[in-house]
Amino acid sequence: MNEMQELARSRLWTINQEHYAQEWDLPFLLVDRDATILFTAGKLPFLYELIEHKAPQQEKHRLKTCLDGVGKDIVVYESISGLYHFVQPIYINTILAGALVVAAIRDNRDLSHHLAHLASTLNLEQDELLDEYHRLQIQNFHALEQLKKVLKVLGNLFLPIAKSDTKANQKISQLQALQKVHELFENALDLKSVLSILTSTLVEEADLLNCTVVLLDQQRKHYHCADQSLPYEQIEEVVLKHMCRVKQTLAIPNLKEDFMFRHIVFDPKNASALALPLEVAEEVKSFVVLYARVEKEFSPAQLELFREILLRAKKAIAKASQFTNVQNEAATDRLTGLQNRAYFMDAISSILKQAEVTQAATSLILLDIDNFKQLNDQYGHQKGDEALMILGKILKSNIRPQDLAARYGGEEFVVLLPETRHEEARSIAENMRMSVEQENFSGLHLTISIGLACSLNSSLHTPELLKEADKCLYSAKAAGKNCVKSCIIVDKSLGSVAVDDANELYVQK
C-alpha cells in the first residue's frame, strides 16, 4: 500500500469529501496517479454506467492521460459523454500522487447531438442515454467558478487533514496493540508462551512471512512458523556476526542479492529481513529477525511500534525466565542436578497416557549404587554425596534429549525412555552400567545394579511399571550386582516376561 492509498483511508477526510459531494449533488472522486478510484463520495450518474459497460476502462484511460499532462492548477476536461470533469492535482513531496476530481458536470451546452452519435457508436439506446442526460442538473457559470474555488481549497486540505488523521489513527492503533500485547505478556508465565506472543504479534502487525527470536544466553530459538522455505539457520549465523559487531538494527531488502548472504543457496524462495536487537549490554544477548516479502519497507510508525513491543517483551522474558528458574529449582534435585521424584511422577503419568494412545513402547530403568551404605559408613556422607553427584552427571551424559532421568530417593535413580523398545533400552542401560564401572569416583571404584522394564504398548500404569522395574533391580542384586536384569510386558493382561541375560538382547514380542 503506497502513501496515497493509505491517506485515502482517512475517515476524517472521507467525511469532508462526502459533505461536499452532498452539498453540490455531484460525485467527488479521489484517484491515485494511475486514475484508479480510491474513494467515491456521491454517485456517478447512470449515464456513466451505460457508457462504461460498452467502453470499459476508456474513461479511466482518458483521466490517466489528463493526469500525465497536469500541472498544479485545476484542469477541466471533457469525458467521453461530453460532460466536464474538474481535476485538482495532489502532490506529495513535489511528486504527483493523485487528484481530487469532480465528475459529471453538466453546463449550459446542449450535448444531445454528441450523445446521439455516441449511442450509435457504442450500440446504446439513444433515448435512454438522452433521458439520463436530461436528468442531470445544469450548473451555471457562477456555480462552476465557485465549484473550482471549493475544489482547489479542498484539494489543498487533503494532505494536512488525511495525514493528521492517519497519524492519530496510527497512534491509537499502536496504543491498542501495545495494550493488547501488554495484557498477553502479563498473563504469560513460561518463556515459550512469551516468545509465541512476541512472534505472533509481530507477524500480525507487520504482515510477515516468519519471525525468529534468538536468545543467545539461553541457547534458544523460537520460530513463528516451523517451515523450511528459507535457510534460516545460515541467515541467522550471518545476522549474529553483524549484530555482535555493530549492535544495531540490520535491514536487508533482498536476501538473495545482498553480498553478506552470497554464499547461501536460496531455493526457491526469497525474502527481506529486518534484524532488531532485543537486549544489548557489552554484547548482544538476544535479537529478533522479521522475514517479509522482498523489498518490503516498514514505516517509521511501524518501527516505533516494534521497538515498544520489544521493550515490553524484554521485561516479559526476564519475568518468565525467573519463573522458569523457580519451577526448575522446585523440580530439580539440588545434589545431582537431575529431576526430583515429584517431577518424575507427574511426567511419567503424562507420557504413559500419550504412549498408550499411540501404542508406542515405553521403557523404565530403576538403578541404585551397589554397597552404598558401606561407602557412607566407611568414608562418610560427604563422600557419598560426591558419588551421587558424579552418578548424576554420568546419567545425563548417557541419555537422549527425549529421555528423563531423576533421583528417585537416596541412592536410587530412575530413567524414563519414551518410545523405546527393549533392545534399545537394554543397550542404554548397559552403557550406563559400564560408564559407572569405568568412572573414578574420587579414588573409589563403584558399580550400579539396574532393573529395566519395557512395556511394549505402554498399557501399564505408573505403579505397575515401577513395580516391574523394581523386581528386575532385585534380580540384579541377587545375581551379584553390577549387572542389568530386564523384563518385557507385551500387554498388562499377559504379565511380564523376564529376560535372563544379555544374550537375549534381541528378543522381540
The CA angle 259-263-269, to the nearest 5 degrees, is 85
Report the run of H or E that residue 367 belongs to, with start and end.
Answer: strand 362-369
Distance CA 429, CA 410 (A): 20
| Range(s) within the chain of domains with CATH label 3.30.70.270 | 341-504
β-bridge partners, 211: 290
Q: What is the pLDDT of residue 506?
A: 47
What is the reported pLDDT for 243? 85
Task: Please give, one letter per residue, the 3-state secondary structure of 49-114.
Answer: HHHHHHCCCHHHHHHHHHHHCCCCCCEEEECCCCCEEEEEEEEECCEEEEEEEEEEEECCCCCHHH
Strand partners, 274: 251, 290
Q: What are phi and psi of 92, to 5 degrees?
A: -120, 115
Quick one: 188-330 is in which CATH superfamily? GAF domain (3.30.450.40)
Q: What residues does 106 pair with on adjacent strands?
A: 138
Asked if 286 contacts 320 with a C-beta cutoff of 8 angstroms, the reply is: no
Please name the residues in contact with 253: beta carbons below 8 A apart, sequence gap of 6 or more.
Answer: 272, 294, 295, 296, 297
Predicted confidence pLDDT, tens digits, the chain (509 residues): 788 998 999 999 999 999 999 999 999 999 999 999 999 999 999 998 899 889 889 999 999 999 999 888 999 999 999 999 999 999 999 999 999 999 999 999 999 999 999 999 999 999 999 999 999 999 999 999 999 999 999 999 999 999 999 889 888 888 898 999 999 998 888 888 999 999 999 999 888 999 999 888 777 788 888 787 889 999 999 998 888 888 888 999 999 999 999 999 887 889 999 999 887 666 778 889 999 999 998 888 889 999 999 999 989 988 888 887 777 777 888 899 899 998 899 899 989 988 888 889 999 999 999 999 988 888 888 889 989 999 999 999 999 989 999 999 899 999 999 999 999 999 999 999 999 999 888 778 899 999 999 998 888 889 999 999 999 999 999 999 999 999 999 888 887 888 865 445 444 44
Query: Which segments of 106-209 are extended strands (E)?
Result: none
The CATH number corresponding to 3-166 among 3.30.160, 3.90.550, 3.30.70, 3.30.450 equals: 3.30.450
Rounded to a whole number, what is the distance in angstroms from the first to the last CA of the chain?
Answer: 64
Q: CATH 3.30.450.40 in the chain, residues?
A: 188-330
Segments of 402-483 assigned E as strands: 404-409, 412-418, 448-455
Q: Is 3.30.70.270 the CATH classification of the domain at 341-504?
A: yes
